[in-house]
Amino acid sequence: MKAIKVTEPFHLNLVEVPDPEIKDSHDVILKILSGGICGSDIQIWNGTNSLATYPRIIGHEFGGVVVETGSDVHSVKPGDLAAVDPVLSCGSCYACRIGRPNVCVSLKVMGVHCDGGFSQYVCVPESNVHKFFKNFPAPLLSLVEPYTIGAQVNSRASISKDDCVFIMGSGPIGLTVLQTAKNLGAQVIISDLLPQRLKSARSMGADETLLASDPLFLQRLYSFSGQDGVPVVVDTVCTPASLEEAVSFASPAGKIVCLGLKNQPSAIAMSEITKKELTLVGSRLSNRRFDEVIRHFEAGDYTPDQLITHQIHYSQIQEAFELLIKHPELTLKVGLTFE
């Protein structure tokens, strides 16, 4: 079968690899129908993802149709549409024991630490396969995973209908955080450097949008949230400077959610956290959010189709990467079709 592999930084190829086989009674083989290119896939390609190992079949946003199951699989059957959770955990470390396998001490993410889903077929454990109960468009199966990131962020911040939320960055993850927060009843303001992305944010439910270069940025932000700051700040920009800004924007007793994985430190004085008694939490991947997101997809609570700006056949993966790298102003999620 064909698969998309990064053999080393800046070397992206379509390669021939063996078809997967059932090796465990709880294995499931899926024919991949769609995949979504994430910023972390670009970072694996350019060598800036410190977590990746090479060579690697990339792809952690993917879904398809079940074609074969092991003898002890009962939750899905051939013909079922499903999305795949790429998180693989040990089940026995402290994080796993307290129900947080997304930060397992031995965590592996498909497409990063081990081979992922950008291939014609994939074999995964039954526990990672999440079934759709309604017929659903194939290109949207791969969008469950990014929406689980948004759901995890909202859970980590305990966002509710009484909250005012400021999302820094209106890329795909920022938009999934937005739609999850709006579905919970929160008021949401979102910012970005690109006017085109703010237009998408407005169409996906943002109550207010802010251009990062607006000279009235702070005035407009505090006019929306209250002059004492923002109760909930979500940093999807993920730079050392953006985390510093998040701390400054947050109101006393406010909450900040950080998603960044960069190794560079931010210059934040501890007094800024202590004086405001801020709650600063990390949010990584998602913790068993797939079934929750699928229910919302099937109920029509979210509009994942608005995230996809381009659909490209997997055989044109070079062109897809070039589009994302050279034209961020034109793209949100570039979807790959495998049919």
Position 50 pLDDT exceeds 90: no
Average confidence (pLDDT) over 268-294? 97
Identity (one letter) of the amino acid at 332? L
pLDDT band of residue 187 (cuts 50, 70, 90) is: very high
pLDDT tens-place string over residues 156-182: 999 999 999 999 999 999 999 999 999
| Mean per-residue pLDDT of the chain | 97
Minimal CA–CA distance to 286: which of 190, 177, 126?
A: 177
pLDDT tens-place string over residues 71-109: 999 999 999 999 999 999 999 999 999 999 999 999 999
- Give me the count of residues in the chain: 339
Using CA atoms, how far residue 84 sits from 32, 72, 196, 269, 333, in Å, is 10, 18, 30, 40, 18
Q: φ, ψ for residue 101 (rounded to 5)?
A: -70, -15
Position 49 pLDDT exceeds 90: no
**Longest distance between any two alpha carbons in the chain, whole Å:** 63
pLDDT band of residue 70 (cuts 50, 70, 90) is: very high
CA distance 126 to 120: 18
Q: φ, ψ for residue 257 (rounded to 5)?
A: -115, 125
Average confidence (pLDDT) over 54-78? 98
Q: What pLDDT does residue 48 have?
A: 87
Q: Write the DSSP assignment of 43-111 as a string of letters.
A: HHHHT--TT--SSEE--SSEEEEEEEE-TT--S--TT-EEEE--EE--SSSHHHHTT-GGG-TT-EEBT
Q: What pLDDT does residue 339 have?
A: 84
Q: Quick check: 235 and 246 in contact, CB under 8 A?
A: yes
pTM of the model: 0.96
pLDDT tens-place string over residues 236-268: 999 999 999 999 999 999 999 999 988 889 999
Residues in contact with 298: Cβ distance below 8 Å, sequence separation at least 6, in sequence order: 132, 133, 134, 136
Average confidence (pLDDT) over 190-206? 97
Position 296 pLDDT exceeds 90: yes
pLDDT band of residue 140 (cuts 50, 70, 90) is: very high
Q: φ, ψ for residue 52 (rounded to 5)?
A: -80, 150
Using CA atoms, how far residue 331 sits from 43, 74, 137, 279, 312, in Å, is 17, 39, 20, 33, 12
